[in-house]
Amino acid sequence: MKLYGRTISKGNAEGDVIIEPGAVSFLGGVDPKEGIVVDSANQVSGQSIAGKVFAFSTGKGSTVGSYVIYRMKKSGTAPAAIINERAETIVASGAIISEIPMIDGIDISLMRNCDRVVVDADEGYVEIPGVSVKDAITVIVRRKEKVLILKRSQSVGSCKGRWAGVSGHVEGDEPMEDRAMKEIREETGMKARIIGKGEPILARDRALVWKIHPFLAEVDDGTEPEIDWEHSKYRWIEPEEVYDYNTVPKLDRVFENLGIL
């Protein structure tokens, strides 16, 4: 799988990824002699970033942090590459003056610790060779002001007991919309019309990344679903109530991309 971002500092590198969901301060937060994160606010505190592909949300702290990165590079304790969700001045400056490949605009939640990743900062992408992408659809069915969410049963393969939209894998070359219609029929038995489509969303699931294509469908007032074995319950909710439910990953993003949140 390839993830495209923005080149901050050119170059290429390959290595095991180490992921920090929070912000990192290189001055005080990283021991440059050993290349170990020492900031207790970081999840990866105590771990070495030397020679790794270091993926974290963004930089913070003193601007001296840029020089700390340079010093690490010269003493061989620097990361092989840096991936940020959002670059800022300190880390970007450090990566550039130290010639460490760096890319931002990457959703780091799609990576897992110890994934082997290839960073091509000349072309601006990150490749995770061990992870493949599969297409799936998620349909949010609307009835007047409310939308349908379904609780996944104990018989399904993944995300048991979590709330989701109507969903399914795409098989072969079939058109996404056909798959969406088919799943609505199978999972709810309702007659619905597809009225909208959103930008795809990526979500990690073990060695796979699902590329979820969101659809918005509409049913007539008074229509009720008849659920099959895949679900144990359903509810019609106001879109903003989605935050109150334990949902499958990124269901809120599906709502956002469909423009209903």
Partner 1 sequence: MMQLTEKQKGMLKGKEGEAVKKAMELITALGDIYGAERLIPVSSVQVSGVSYKTIGDAGLEFIEDYARIMKEEGIEVRVKTTMNPAGMDLEKWEKMGVPPEFAKKQMRIFEAYTSMGIEPSLTCTPYYFVNVPKFGEHIAWAESSAVSYANSVMGARTNREGGPSALASAITGLTAEYGLHLDENRKADVIVELDFEPEPYLYAVLGNHLGSTLTRMGKKVPYFRGIKPELDSMKALGAAMAATGSIALYHVENITPEWKNAVDDELEVMHIGRTELTEHIKGMDMGCEPELIAIGCPHASESELKRIAELVDGRKKRPDKELWVSISRAVAERNPDAVETIERFGGLVLRDTCMVVSPIENRFKSTGVNSGKAAYYLPKESFCRQCIRFRPLEELVMMAVEGEK
Q: How far is the CB of 66 from partner 1 (least distance, A)?
A: 5
Q: Active-site residue among 25, 48, 57, 62?
A: 62
Binding partner 1 by CB under 8 A: which of 1, 23, 53, 68?
Answer: 68
Site string for partner 1, 30-49 (x = CB under 8 A): --x-----------------
Angle of CA points 148, 154, 157, to nearest 5°:
90
Residue 106 interacting with partner 1 (CB under 8 A): no
Q: How far is the CB of 68 from partner 1 (least distance, A)?
A: 5
Residue 56 interacting with partner 1 (CB under 8 A): no
Q: Using CA atoms, how far apart are residues 218 and 234, in angstroms rounded to an integer?
A: 16
String of DSSP letters for 5-58 = -EEEE--EEEEEEEEEEEEE-HHHHEETTTTEE--TTSTTTT-B-TTSEEEEEE
Residue 90 interacting with partner 1 (CB under 8 A): yes
CB count within 10 Å of CB 207 equals 11
Locus of tokens 């994934």: 115
**What length is written for the chain?**
261
Whether 109 is catalytic is: no
| Active-site annotation, residues | 62
Q: Rule CB under 8 A: which residues touch partner 1? A: 6, 8-10, 28, 32, 63-64, 66-68, 70-71, 74, 87-90, 92-94, 96-97, 104
